[in-house]
Chain A
Amino acid sequence: MDLDFFSKSIVIGLTEHAPLVLAAIGFALLYRLTGLINVAYSETITLGAYFGMWFNTTYDLNFYTVLLPAGIVAGLISVGTYFAVFRPAKKLNVGALEMIIISFGLSIVLRHALQFVFGYPVRFFEVPPPVSIRVLGVGVGAFRILAVASVAAVSLALYYFIQRTSFGLQIRALASDEDLAQASGIRPLFVTVLIWFIAGVAGGMAGAFYGVSSSVAPLLGWRQFLFIFLVVVVGGRKGLGGVIITGALTGIALAAMTLQFGQVLYAQLALIVAFVALLKWRSKRSIETVKV
């Protein structure tokens, strides 16, 4: 195997799958900090793509301008789902398993409701053909470079926000002990809303990146959900840093296997098998302490 293969895998993996890392960060925030497996997160991604496309085509704005608004709308919708569904569910003491199924139901509702709003046909961003830039001898579209840069910027900002600011401290306090956090004067509602908003913005921006590099369709987010979830479940134990690294490695692995097998589906297949095997292996190692 030559050097060319490695550099290609790394460049394609990081640029093409950068949105995966961004989406995984958002999902991980919810998963780690509120303990919720939110299947409807895939629709946050899809809606980010749809709103980006809609701003882009309706107001004739370029992609760089619509990126943040698309993220903000997705963030607001994410907060909306918290108030409409997840907060009431928590108050009603719904179990963890039921919560997953409820979020699955919400995901279906959003996915099909958006088709009544945006129509059934597949839609596209109206952008000029991206300028190709050569990185390590591999041609890469400008949007993908932007995606990598945004992912890096957002990741760093989030990391700083959660690890270094007082809001971040409040978020972590709330995640580890809600009662104690409340007793020490943290307003749980404000902090929780903040988490949902940031997660939604990350998901929405990821969606816009997915949408601009291919097409905007109702299944856009759902097709990525399993991989996002795998990255977060496998990498999430080591905090946000673990998620970012696992996401990046996953992207590179997907690119390398796609080059090797000549088909992206085989790469996805191998990835699913590898990750599930990894989870199984990890549970086998830890199980003796948990077992009664």
Chain B
Amino acid sequence: MNLNWLDAFLISGLFSVVVIIGLALLLHLQLGLTRIANFGVVGFFGIGMYSFGVLFTKVDWPFGDLPAFLVSLAFGTLVAGLSGLLVGWLIADLDEDGVLVGTLGFATVVFILATTEQDLTGGALGLGGLKFPYDVGTVKADEFLWLIIVIIVVTLIFLYVWWVHRTPYGRLLIATGANEPLARSLGKATFRTKLWLFAVGSAGMGMIGALFGVMERFLAPENLGIDVTLAAMVALVIGGTARAWGAVIGGFLIFGFFDIIVQSYIPFPKAWYGQAIPNAKLIVEGLVLMGVLLFRPLGILGAMRRDKLMRRVHG
């Protein structure tokens, strides 16, 4: 495959944008519809990444790379899903502060385990040895193919979210988020709904983490900072928390700008790329979060599709 037309920075930039969009889409179901502020996105992302990475690199697989990869990916997704179930159970009947404590606490626990369990994770030094489950020639071609695969996965997640919006399950999530006691008094099992939501959402985040880990090739606790949670939250909030497209638009808008345009196309002095630009990027992320929530809480896309529909029908 001749990929001379393609810039290597463009691949990695697009990759990080797509990963953030994937996380933001899953966060949308939790924060946007059910109004649970999951501050532990990076925890689920990280536990999936590490569970996958440890199984993939530490086990002496008797068969080829692809089956080993698929088994490890399934394992990472499963572990993340089960931890989502646990965290969901812990926080489902707590209020906002309980949710913040539970999710943030979980992310911290994952970070601590990634650091302390050196035999498995390599501790602060990190875990190497991850590779693509195929080889199509050059590194660039491998990475390009990986980008395509991740785009397909995130598209599937988007379709799932889109589908949820149009099903009774989606309406149940919205009802639970808007008024939980009311939903419960109408006979809806809101507790179970939240459990399921957290299990599925976290499994998805864990899977994205595993896919991210392969591209990163080297897992270190630095990958598990709060900026991952922040990125997903910013993408979702600026695009529109209540809309399926919000995460996609927000992700391209802010991270497309920073990770692709600033990184590759604006000739800032070289020295700035080390610390000044990443630092400025985080400041902008924080400002966007504050500004949008203060002045346009529903983001660019605004109110929920069906709210607009209702208004058009009923005036």
A binding-site residues for B, Cβ under 8 Å:
37, 85, 88-89, 92, 94-98, 100-102, 104-109, 111-113, 115-116, 120, 222, 226, 229-230, 233, 263, 265-266, 268-269, 272-273, 275-276, 279-280, 283-284, 287, 291-292
In the bound assembly, the distance between CA atoms of A169 and B111 in angstroms comes to 43
Chain B minimum-CB-distance residue to A286: B93
Interchain CB contact (< 8 A) of A265 among B35, B90, B112, B275: B112
Interchain CB contact (< 8 A) of A269 among B35, B113, B182: B113
Q: Are A233 and B98 within 8 A (Cβ)?
A: yes
> Does B290 count as interface, using CB distance less than 8 angstroms?
yes
Interchain CB contact (< 8 A) of A116 among B100, B102, B279: B279
Chain B minimum-CB-distance residue to A263: B116
Question: How far in angstroms is the closest Cβ of chain A from B29?
Answer: 15
Chain B minimum-CB-distance residue to A266: B116
- Chain B interface residue count, CB cutoff 8 Å, equals 44
Q: Are A37 and B184 within 8 A (Cβ)?
A: no
B39: A residues at CB distance < 8 A: 104
A284: B residues at CB distance < 8 A: 93
Q: Are B105 and A226 within 8 A (Cβ)?
A: yes
Interchain CB contact (< 8 A) of A37 among B93, B96, B105, B279: B96
Give 10 A-B contacts (CB < 8 Å), ordered by A residue: A98-B293, A102-B294, A104-B230, A105-B288, A105-B293, A108-B282, A108-B283, A112-B283, A266-B116, A276-B90
In order of increasing CB-CB distance, the 9 nearest A-B pairs are A105-B289, A108-B286, A109-B286, A292-B181, A105-B290, A105-B286, A272-B105, A112-B282, A265-B112
> Does B233 count as interface, using CB distance less than 8 angstroms?
yes
B116: A residues at CB distance < 8 A: 263, 265-266, 269
> Does B71 count as interface, using CB distance less than 8 angstroms?
no
In the bound assembly, the distance between CA atoms of A275 and B35 in angstroms comes to 24
B143: A residues at CB distance < 8 A: none
**Contacts A108-B230, A113-B283, A265-B112 given; does A230 touch B297 at CB 8 Å:** no
**Contacts A94-B294, A98-B297, A109-B283 given; does A104 touch B289 at CB 8 Å:** yes
In the bound assembly, the distance between CA atoms of A291 and B94 in angstroms comes to 12
A115: B residues at CB distance < 8 A: 275, 279
In the bound assembly, the distance between CA atoms of A276 and B92 in angstroms comes to 13
Q: Mark B255-287, 1 if CB is under 8 A from A, else 0.
A: 000000000000000000001100110110111
Chain B minimum-CB-distance residue to A280: B90
Question: How far in angstroms is the closest Cβ of chain A from B34?
Answer: 11
Q: Are B94 and A101 within 8 A (Cβ)?
A: no
> Does B109 count as interface, using CB distance less than 8 angstroms?
yes
Q: Are B101 and A101 within 8 A (Cβ)?
A: no
Q: Are B96 and A96 within 8 A (Cβ)?
A: yes
Q: Are B96 and A100 within 8 A (Cβ)?
A: yes
Interface of A is mostly: helix
B binding-site residues for A, Cβ under 8 Å:
35, 37, 39, 90, 93-94, 96-98, 100-102, 104-105, 108-109, 112-113, 115-116, 181-182, 184-185, 226, 230, 233, 237, 275-276, 279-280, 282-283, 285-290, 293-295, 297
In the bound assembly, the distance between CA atoms of A87 and B97 in angstroms comes to 20
In the bound assembly, the distance between CA atoms of A116 and B284 in angstroms comes to 13
**Contacts A266-B116, A272-B108, A280-B90 given; does A85 touch B290 at CB 8 Å:** yes
A96: B residues at CB distance < 8 A: 96
Q: Are B290 and A269 within 8 A (Cβ)?
A: no
Question: How far in angstroms is the closest Cβ of chain A from B28?
Answer: 14
Interchain CB contact (< 8 A) of A230 among B93, B101, B283, B294: B101
**Contacts A101-B37, A112-B283 given; does A269 touch B98 at CB 8 Å:** no
Q: Are A102 and B109 within 8 A (Cβ)?
A: no
In the bound assembly, the distance between CA atoms of A85 and B113 in angstroms comes to 36
Q: Are B97 and A109 within 8 A (Cβ)?
A: no
Question: How far in angstroms is the closest Cβ of chain A from B279?
Answer: 5
A105: B residues at CB distance < 8 A: 285-290, 293
Q: Are B94 and A108 within 8 A (Cβ)?
A: no
**Contacts A279-B98, A280-B90 given; does A100 touch B37 at CB 8 Å:** yes
Q: Are B98 and A101 within 8 A (Cβ)?
A: no
Question: How far in angstroms is the closest Cβ of chain A from B99?
Answer: 9
Question: How far in angstroms is the closest Cβ of chain A from B23?
Answer: 15
Q: Are A268 and B294 within 8 A (Cβ)?
A: no
In the bound assembly, the distance between CA atoms of A39 and B181 in angstroms comes to 28
With most chain B CB atoms within 10 A of its CB, the pick from A104, A263, A275 is: A104
**Contacts A269-B113, A283-B94 given; does A112 touch B101 at CB 8 Å:** no
